[in-house]
Amino acid sequence: MKTLCVIPVFNEDNKLNNLINQIKINDYKKYGLNYIFVNNGSTDNSLEIIKNSNFKFLNLKKNMGVGYALILGYLFAKKYKYDYIVHLAGNGKMSPSDIERFMKSIINEDYDFISGSRFLKYSSRKNNPIHRLVLIKLFGIFINFFLKKKITDSTCGFRAFKVNIFKNFKKNFLNKNLFTYGYEYFSYGKILKNNNIKFTEVPVSMDYPSKKNYTKMRPIIDWFIIANYWIKGIYDSSEL
């Protein structure tokens, strides 16, 4: 059993040390868990912190987008024959201690794709702005209508899945239009409409460090990208 946790990073030097310390406490060797940071063209001290952590890392000279970083992580996992992938944010808003919930579900209950939710019992959403929570809820209603499935958190990027659920990964996802937030939600839509993929949600902590500067998402542009590629994923007919 081999599991790869992919962590995109862009200018997070004020949060990385704390995240790395949490990771070292929660190593989960019983799941064959390895971590890889993808430094996405950071211009601060993030790369040096990652190098000093002794964890695996990939280094991009310029910011190619979070989707691109996650795509590279998948290709790395595929190349080195990992069985499972976990996505973890590099800004400290997700707790590495929650990874065990994903791994228990994916291994003990044989789920193919598991997404985190900040709205389930035992979850947490400290410092999440009210307007953001309302938008997530409203968007979830829209997604549930089209998919006829119960999804409580349609924008959570904390997830785990089997590497082999993708059969045509390069054909579907090596597209520069997916290099920002498009990849996460285009793939999410394609996965959830596939009735052969066993899906569930688990409660997670999505605690922003503060109510200010809590995300790099642009309020209108990036929400449009998320909605656009969710819908494209739902209606895309290509084989996963």
3-235: what fold? Spore Coat Polysaccharide Biosynthesis Protein SpsA; Chain A (3.90.550)
pLDDT tens sequence across 26-78? 778 889 999 999 999 999 999 999 999 999 999 999 999 999 999 999 999 99
All structural domains of the chain with their residue ranges:
3-235
Alpha carbon of 236 to those of 7, 21, 229: distances in Å?
27, 41, 10
Residue 163 CA to residue 60 CA, distance in Å, equals 23
pLDDT reported for residue 130: 86
pTM of the model: 0.94
pLDDT tens sequence across 86-111? 999 999 999 999 999 999 999 999 99
Residue with tokens 């003990």: 108
| pLDDT-based confidence at residue 12 (cuts at 50, 70, 90) | very high
pLDDT reported for residue 181: 92
Residue 197 CA to residue 106 CA, distance in Å, equals 12
